[in-house]
Amino acid sequence: MFDSFDFEALNDPEFKEDSVREELLVPIIQGLGYKVTGDSRVVRSRNLIHPYVALGSQQRKVSIVPDYLFLSQGKPFWVLDAKAPTEDILKSKHVEQAYSYAIHPEVRADLFALCNGHRFVLFSTRQFEPLLDFELKEIDACWEKLIRVLHPDVMAHPESIQYQPDYGLHLKRLGAEPGFRLILHAVNSNFICKVRDGLYTASTVIPAEDDFATSLDFGDKQLKQLFTVLPSDQVQLLRQGLTSQPYMVHLDDSDFQFGAVADLTKEVIHNAEESYIPFQVQEFIKYIEFCEE
């Protein structure tokens, strides 16, 4: 996302909070799919009518107004505040103030984030440690996580991300080695996104003794195979959705249906919500639904 941005500019004393907003946060906001109108939109610097929060029996003034408030289906979802590159955004008064704004009765947003150009830190109002904390120059590697947490569809359609136990991790605990081959004849997925150039992922649920979430990663070659086993209308949706921001397609009332031959990868991926091991798709095949007699 920031291939053309020189992060050495952050060391310039004239590169301040407003530059962080204009040069770095605006592309992120656009990439996440927020606009200035509609139910899923961004509101800039919304003031509080009664800028105080209760601290025990006392009232503490909320002395900042974050730069951005994001709405999903017209309701506050998360807030974002820009800080100068010299400011601490992990353990400081800025975190406390952003939290105070997010929990205010006039807002009640579940998530709040701060960015100083060097780092992007996302917090939940229900947890002390950050949900996400990464260097902004590494945003491409973290983009899928960011999309899955902050895209307006997450709140409007919470079923688009499921935090069931991960099937890859489940198999590893049972002794499966990397390269273990999984042949899936009937995959139903309503969410496919582009992680970066040449890498895509689909999310699905595998029913077993419990329902397990599964991530299926694949490349350009397999994407072309996927186009051959899906109906033309879904192919068109994917061609459009995976080539323009926010590089994802979520189906409300139906599923992508396909089969897949996939191998268990070796990397255990951790984030604040879960640990998981994705599968690498070797081949997409036609969907075959087995009916019970």
Is residue 61 in a domain? yes
Query: Residue 273 has what pLDDT?
Result: 55
Residue that finishes a domain, picked among 127, 156, 185: 156
Residue 290 lies in a domain: no
C-alpha span between 277 and 291 (Å, rounded): 30
Taking each continuous run of H as one helix and of E as one strand, the counts in the chain are 8, 17
Handedness of CA 98, 32, 282, 181 (dihedral sign): positive
Indicate whether 196 and 99 sit together in one domain: no
Q: Residue 26's domain is classified under what CATH number?
A: 3.90.1570.30
**Is residue 291 a part of any domain in this protein?**
no
Of 156, 191, 221, the residue at which a domain comes to its end is: 156
CA-CA distances (angstroms) from residue 287 to 181, 186, 201, 226, 275? 18, 5, 18, 11, 28
d(CA 43, CA 55): 27
21 and 139 fall within a common domain? yes
69 neighbors 79 (Cβ within 8 angstroms): yes
Q: Give the pLDDT of residue 131.
A: 86
The per-residue pLDDT for 56 is 44
Which domain does 271 fall in, by range?
159-285
Residue 282: both structure tokens together: 């070797």
Kindly give the confidence (pLDDT) of every residue in the chain, 293 residues in length, as a single tens digit, with 9 standing for 90 and above: 888 899 999 999 999 999 999 999 999 998 888 888 887 889 887 776 666 655 444 566 666 678 899 998 888 899 999 999 999 999 888 988 888 888 888 888 889 999 999 999 998 887 778 888 999 999 988 887 888 788 887 665 554 444 567 888 878 866 788 999 999 999 999 999 998 999 999 999 887 656 788 999 999 999 999 999 999 999 999 999 999 888 999 998 899 999 999 999 998 876 545 668 899 999 999 999 865 55
| 169 lies in some domain | yes
